[in-house]
Structure 1
Amino acid sequence: MFVTHLSLADFRSYPGVELALDPGVTTFTGANGQGKTNLVEAVDYLATLGSHRVAGEVPLVRHGAERAIVRARVQAGLGDSRQLLLEVELIPGRQNRASLNRAPLRRPRELLGALRTVVFSPEDLSLVKGDPSERRRFIDELITTRWPRLAGVRADYDRVLKQRATLLKSLSGRGRSIGDGAAATLEVWDESLAGFGAELVHARVRTLTDLAPHVAGAYAAIAPTNNDAKVGYRSPIAPEPATTVDELQARLVLAMGERRAEEIARGLCLVGPHRDDLTLELGELPAKGYASHGESWSLALSLKLASFDLLRADGVQPVLILDDVFAELDQMRRQRLAGMIAEAEQVLITAAVPADVPAELGGRRFRVGGGEVSEVEHAGT
């Protein structure tokens, strides 16, 4: 799977750009703030309907413009000439519009699965050093990439979570004396939240089980130390790979019941996948708080490379995006990373300095600056 053409209108800093792309490695170089990351961000947006840089969509629309359009032609693979035309129109304050092969889609998330990406950027250091929300976002984006239908489950879970939280806030301070009507209503929301939550937890645990050997392998290949990298799942309902969705739902309902008084008192939903976390370990120690800066970088990179390998094992060839990564790595890690990505169908790289990107990667190189994207005929010029 790879992008053959990218078209932008009023996206980020670009009034308009048309860019033909090839399989293999493509590198965009230029000074900070010139728009090189905007190009790869647009590709990732079509795959995930989100940005790896900002939470909202207002910054994605060029200042002064009413909307932005991101469009790409995607080829199924090196041996498969079938192509799809993907398009999203971003409209701040309104629902975005999406189309596939120029046919409008009812909801933008119906576009998910047409293009798959794996992105690694400096912000991903937060996977190791940051809050649990960063790790939950990582695993949820991965399960949605593997099984696009889970985007709907995530949306339903978030909707029910907000509605249940609103009810809890309205009951806050009443303790257990909330009345039969309110108790019955809360039980309905418990069942609904547990149903969607169980699907998410099941997908997370299954994916982490599949991901773990890839993480260990990637870390061993890229890091200079011999520590074993391990990833796991932390939840009060103690899910295991063999735990069924029905069992997880029952455990979630039970856990909500056990903490009902506390939830009402605090007006918060205290049980569910929105409170869970991933465990990351190097050797016998937790990575957070014990890993060095270099080890944290290697582990964060290993998580993304493992995601890439897992998707390939699933039969998917995602576009690999390395956004301003090589500058953060020492020479040894650069060379090891270059060797590990050589077999990807398409790799999109951004770098401030061309020399940061190992020359053996080859491929096409573009210089980005002043709103223009121009190809460099000879690498290093």
Structure 2
Amino acid sequence: MIVQRVSYRDFRNIGAAEITLSPGVNVLIGNNAEGKTNALEGIYLMASGKSFRTPKERDMVKFGAESFEVTLDLLDARREQRLTFKAYSADSAKRRVCTKNGVPLPRISELLGVFRAVLFCPEHLAIVKAGPAERRAFLDVAICQLKPMYLKSLQRFQKILTQRNALLKQLADGEGDFSLLGILSEQLARECAFIYRTRADYIERLDAFVKRFFAELSADGGEGAGEIPSLRYLNSLKLSERLEEAEAQERYLERLTAGTAREIAAGATLYGSHKDDIEILLDGREARGFASQGQQRSLAL
């Protein structure tokens, strides 16, 4: 998959521009505030369907303009494809429009997987020390580009989780229908099992890459030379063995059922994919507490 061209219209501080890219490494060079990060933001927008800098699309519209448009031409398996993303300012009643080869996409999530990209920015250097939510988000963004069905499962999971938490709060106040809790628990367990297997498979593959690339980064005998990094999936079931999806679903349902009293008292779901984390280790020790700043940067990279 090779990006051939990217064009911008009224995107951030870019009035009109087109960048033609070459296969291999491309470097953007310019003075401060000339739009280098904005150009990268536009490219990543086509991979993830959202900015890595703001949740508001209107913030990306050039001041005084009604809308922005980014167009990306790529070559995928000898087939040319064109993606466009158009969004409007806060003053406009029009909605965003995304197209693939000129055909409007019904949902922005349809962009995922068409063009895959990995973003690495200064904020990611803190991922080793960051909290579980940041590591889950980093993981989920990567998997969603590879498996669009994973995004749909995450969306269903979040919807069920919200409904279940609302019911638990009602039950804690002596209200709500207790019979609905079992139904929501079954639905939640099903999504948790799929998310568990998908995350476990991805982390296993990622672990192999981390070991290889960390060794290459420290091959010159610098900091970290000879040390072995590893990634460990910390799921809410605290499983050390790998389970098939059907068995994982049973385990999740058992845990949710057994913890009903505690969850009602807490008014929240205490077990599930929203409690997962990735443990980053260096020579078997938690990197967050033992790795140096340089080692943490290498691990993040």
TM-score over 0.5 for the pair? yes
Q: 1:256–1:64: structure 2 CA closer, same or farther, 3 Å change rule? A: farther
Q: 1:266–1:34: structure 2 CA closer, same or farther, 3 Å change rule? A: farther
Q: 1:15–1:168: structure 2 CA closer, same or farther, 3 Å change rule? A: farther
Aligned residue in 2 for 1:90:
87
**1:193 aligned to 2:188?**
yes
Q: CA deviation at 1:66?
A: 4.3
1-side partners of 2:96 and 2:153: how far apart?
19
1-side partners of 2:72 and 2:104: how far apart?
15
Unpaired stretches in structure 2, ≥5 consecutive residues? none
1-side partners of 2:183 and 2:246: how far apart?
16
2-side partners of 1:197 and 1:61: how far apart?
38
Could you report, residue by residue, the CA deviation over 1:103-156 in whole angstroms, capped at 9, with x for unpaired residues? 112112122211111121111112101111111012112221221221211222
Root-mean-square deviation over aligned CA pairs? 2.1
Counterpart contact for 2:196–2:235, Cα < 8 Å: no
Counterpart contact for 1:173–1:265, Cα < 8 Å: no
Q: 1:71–1:163: structure 2 CA closer, same or farther, 3 Å change rule? A: farther
Counterpart contact for 1:88–1:108, Cα < 8 Å: no
Q: CA deviation at 1:189?
A: 1.4
Counterpart contact for 1:209–1:241, Cα < 8 Å: no
SS state of the match for residue 26, structure 2?
strand
Aligned residue in 2 for 1:203:
198
SS state of the match for residue 237, structure 2?
coil
Question: Aligned residues: percent identity?
Answer: 32
Aligned residue in 1 for 2:265:
265
2-side partners of 1:239 and 1:50: how far apart?
33
Aligned residue in 2 for 1:360:
none
1-side partners of 2:63 and 2:193: how far apart?
41
Aligned residue in 2 for 1:151:
151
Could you report, residue by residue, the CA deviation over 1:165-193 in whole angstroms, capped at 9, with x for unpaired residues? 2222333344xxx57xx111122111112
Aligned residue in 1 for 2:296:
296
Q: Say which structure, 1 or 2, has more relative contact order (CA 8 Å, 6+ apart).
A: 1
Counterpart contact for 1:4–1:20, Cα < 8 Å: yes
Counterpart contact for 1:9–1:70, Cα < 8 Å: yes
Aligned residue in 2 for 1:218:
213
SS state of the match for residue 123, structure 1?
helix
SS state of the match for residue 7, structure 1?
strand
SS state of the match for residue 27, structure 1?
coil
Unpaired stretches in structure 1, ≥5 consecutive residues? 302-381
SS state of the match for residue 191, structure 1?
helix
Letter of the 2:188 counterpart: L
SS state of the match for residue 127, structure 2?
helix
Question: More displaced, 115-124 or 50-59?
Answer: 50-59
Q: 1:120–1:271: structure 2 CA closer, same or farther, 3 Å change rule? A: same
Counterpart contact for 1:173–1:264, Cα < 8 Å: no
Could you report, residue by residue, the CA deviation over 1:82-119 in whole angstroms, capped at 9, with x for unpaired residues? 10011122347886432110011211212221111112
Letter of the 1:285 counterpart: R
Map 1:103-114 to 2 at 5 A.
Answer: 103-114=103-114
Instruction: Give the TM-score normalised by structure 2.
Output: 0.89
Counterpart contact for 2:61–2:68, Cα < 8 Å: yes
